[in-house]
Amino acid sequence: MNALLGLGKYLFAIPFAIFGLFHFMGADGMAGMVPVPGGVVWVYLTGIGLLAATVAILIGKMDKLATFLLGIMMLSFALLIHFKGFMSQDPAASASFLKDIALAGASWLYAGHLSKDKAVIG
C-alpha cells in the first residue's frame, strides 16, 4: 500500500508539467480564452509557473512556496477563465472549473502537510 501511496506525489506533479508544456504548444489559442493585454506572455508565464512547481514538488526544494503559489494560480484560473462558463452550465467549462478548484485545494493540502522544504514560508 505504501508503494502505491508513494506514487501520489508523481501523479500530482506530472500533469502540471504536461499542462505547462501545453501552454507553450498552444499559447495562441489559450491567449484568446481571457482577453488581457499581453495574453500570449501571460500564457508563457503560467506555463513556466506550472513547470517550476512540478520541479519543486519532484525535488522537494521550495515545494511549500511552489504549491502555495500553484494553488493561487489554479484558483485564479477557475475564477477568471472557467467561472463564467460554469455559471452558464457549459459542461466543459464546468468540468474545468471544478478541476481547477480541486487542484487548488490539493496544492494547499500539499503545502500544508506534505512539503519538505519549509524554509521560505512557515
| pTM (2 d.p.) | 0.90
Rounded to the nearest 10 degrees, the angle between the axes of helix 91-109 and helix 63-77 is 160
Q: Where would I find the H helices in the chain?
A: 2-6, 8-25, 27-31, 39-59, 63-77, 83-87, 91-109
107 within 8 A of 68, measured Cβ to Cβ? yes
Give 29-67 pLDDT, tens digit per residue: 888 877 777 889 999 999 999 999 999 999 999 999 999
